[in-house]
Amino acid sequence: MMIREAITKDKLEILKFCKNTFSWGDYIEHVWDFWVSEGSLLVCEIQSPVGICHTFYSKDQIWIEGIRINPNFRKQKIASQLIKQSEFNGKKRHALFSYMLIDTENEISLSMATSLDYTIFQTWNFYALEPKINSNFSIDFEKSLNPHIYTHYVQSWRWIPLDNDILSKFYKQNKIIKSKIDDKDSIAILTDSEHFEKTLIVTLFSGSINTTLQIIHFLQNYGTENDYERIQILTKEQLTSFDLLEHKLSFHLMKKSLV
């Protein structure tokens, strides 16, 4: 077994066992070129590539994603070795924490992560929202968030630390919206997917049903006006049923200290 950096010619061999990962297929073919260009895409090779794992670095953390193992080579702790190598590389960059996202129903991956000392940090829900013309909303553009309270936002399905520099950029771009009713508020941070066209990713902090409904209506209208085909909402809350809002999956955000 050898773990090394991926190279371009690995792609075809890897995609052979990344076609039916989920009931709907997989996304690896769409992100492969991005991940190779970013670097830190690890390949496990046993005569030929049998597993991959990508690491994204941001501030004091690493984000582990895209763990895929050839079904013929599972139960050989290949995923664990790829994660350990990613953690080792992260420690060399002085990372303090490691995060990954695992479907709440994926007991095998959850058991593997637990064996590597990961714990469930938070649980998040993924909702799909269809754009449509909807002018029935009242929101404001937020210009002051506390990064100690709102610690992360989602960018291309990566939980990225918020800081004052990122917040300042979002304020200028009107990417943070707020609805406040009866002293309760909901906040949403809007980002574009880096890997999929016409896809809006929303990190939603829901404070009440009424304020969340205002944000949902805004997002539908915003999506239509800006020609988005997909709106993906990530939130820790379980949302009440809304028009054209569909719950897709729930995930555990797993965390491990690297010190």
Domain boundaries, the chain: 2-95, 126-250
Q: Is the confidence at residue 194, as pLDDT, over 80?
A: yes
Cβ-based neighbours of 22, under 8 Å, separated by 6 or more: none
Task: Cite the beta strand spans of 170-225 per DSSP E.
Answer: 176-181, 184-192, 199-205
Q: What is the pLDDT of residue 36?
A: 95
Residue-wise pLDDT for 57-68, tens only, equals 999 999 999 999
Distance (Å, whole) CA 55 – CA 35: 9
* Rounded average pLDDT over 193-212: 96
Distance (Å, whole) CA 17 – CA 47: 15
Q: Is the confidence at residue 136, as pLDDT, over 90?
A: no
Q: Is the confidence at residue 126, as pLDDT, over 80?
A: yes
Q: Is the confidence at residue 23, as pLDDT, over 90?
A: no
pTM: 0.94
Distance (Å, whole) CA 195 – CA 154: 13
Fold of 2-95: Aminopeptidase (3.40.630)
Q: Is the confidence at residue 243, as pLDDT, over 90?
A: no
* Rounded average pLDDT over 101-126: 97
Distance (Å, whole) CA 190 – CA 174: 9
Distance (Å, whole) CA 218 – CA 237: 18
